[in-house]
């Protein structure tokens, strides 16, 4: 346990090192390292690293790789979701959101009203309920736009005057990490 903190169980040939923290169970040939935190279960040949977190309701097993600030909150992860761009599975594992027919509902905080059904999502950019928003360099979103769940918005204190519920297509996802889904476009469908 090289530089690690373990309050859970580590067994078999599992390795926990490099400031990793384990409160759950790590077994098999699993490796937990690089400031990763495990509350759930990591087994098989899985690797959890790079500040990733595996929460209580999650099992990371087989040849899974969890990395780069991923927050695995629920379900079973058996592969490298980021490397293979398995966005529907990553969205479920990180946010508990399931895509139906390739579509899912996520949220974005809104900061004010420009006019009825038009809301600010930052200091300058607005979205209109029912009108597709496409992330571009011209509107300041060349790297895509972050969406998440209402629960994550509230838990992080991002409470604003409004929260916009958005419909996304999983084909428009470009990344899922840190409890955020980065998309190239979405349709705002209602405001709460």
27-41, 66-80, 158-172: least confidently modelled range = 158-172
> Mean pLDDT, to the nearest integer, of 176-182?
96
The pLDDT tens digits of the residues spanning 141-155 come to: 999 999 999 999 988
The pLDDT tens digits of the residues spanning 65-100 come to: 999 999 999 999 999 999 999 999 999 999 999 999
Which residues, listed in sequence order, are joined to residue 42 by a DSSP beta bridge? 26, 60
Which residues, listed in sequence order, are joined to residue 180 by a DSSP beta bridge? 177
Contact 72, 56 (CB under 8 A): no
Question: Percent of the chain beyond pLDDT 90?
Answer: 88
Distance in angstroms (rounded) separating the CA atoms of residues 47 and 65 = 5
Look at residue 1 in the predicted model and tell me its pLDDT.
Answer: 67
């Amino acid at each position: 346990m090289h530089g690690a903190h373990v309050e859970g169980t580590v067994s078999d040939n599992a390795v926990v090192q490099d400031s990793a923290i384990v409160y759950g169970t790590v077994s098999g040939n699993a490796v937990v390292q690089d400031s990763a935190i495990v509350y759930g279960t990591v087994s098989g040949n899985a690797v959890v690293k790079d500040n990733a977190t595996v929460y209580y309701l999650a099992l990371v097993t087989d040849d899974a790789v969890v990395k780069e600030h991923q927050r695995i909150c629920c379900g079973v992860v058996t592969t490298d979701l980021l490397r293979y761009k398995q966005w529907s599975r990553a969205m479920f594992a990180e946010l508990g959101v399931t895509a139906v027919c390739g579509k899912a509902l996520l949220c974005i905080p809104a900061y004010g009203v420009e006019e009825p059904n038009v809301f600010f999502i930052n200091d300058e950019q607005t979205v209109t309920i029912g009108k597709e928003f496409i992330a571009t360099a011209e509107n300041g979103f060349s790297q895509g736009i972050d969406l998440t769940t209402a629960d994550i918005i509230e838990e992080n204190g991002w409470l604003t005057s409004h929260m916009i519920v958005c419909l996304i297509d999983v084909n428009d996802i470009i990344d899922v990490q840190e409890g955020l889904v980065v998309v190239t476009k979405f349709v705002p469908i209602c405001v709460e």
